[in-house]
């Protein structure tokens, strides 16, 4: 989820840089925001589901 948001922020920053446009916030701030979102994604924030971890006590074959 955070990776998608980071990609959108990076895309907006790239388009604003290409068009030499300004929306009141600098390109550097958008890049920093995108990097923060990527860091949250890499840390695993917002990616945990209900049944994603089963632990080490799964069924073993004997």
d(CA 45, CA 42): 8
For residues 27 and 11, give the distance between their C-alpha atoms in angstroms, rounded to a whole number.
11
Q: What is the pLDDT of residue 46?
A: 77
Instruction: Look at the chain and report how many structural domains it folds into.
Output: 1
Query: Which residues make Cβ contacts (< 8 Å) with residue 24, sequence separation at least 6?
Result: none
Specify the pLDDT at position 57. Answer: 62
pTM as predicted: 0.68
Residue 7 lies in domain: 2-43
What's residue 60's pLDDT? 64
Kindly list the averaged pLDDT for each block of 10 residues, start to end, along the chain of length 62. 91 92 88 92 76 60 68
């Amino acid at each position: 989820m955070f990776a998608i948001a980071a990609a959108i922020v990076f895309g907006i920053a790239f388009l604003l840089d290409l068009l030499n446009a300004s929306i009141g916030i600098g390109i550097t701030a958008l890049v920093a925001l995108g990097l923060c979102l990527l860091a949250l994604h890499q840390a695993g924030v917002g990616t945990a589901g209900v049944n994603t971890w089963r632990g080490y006590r799964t069924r073993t074959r004997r």
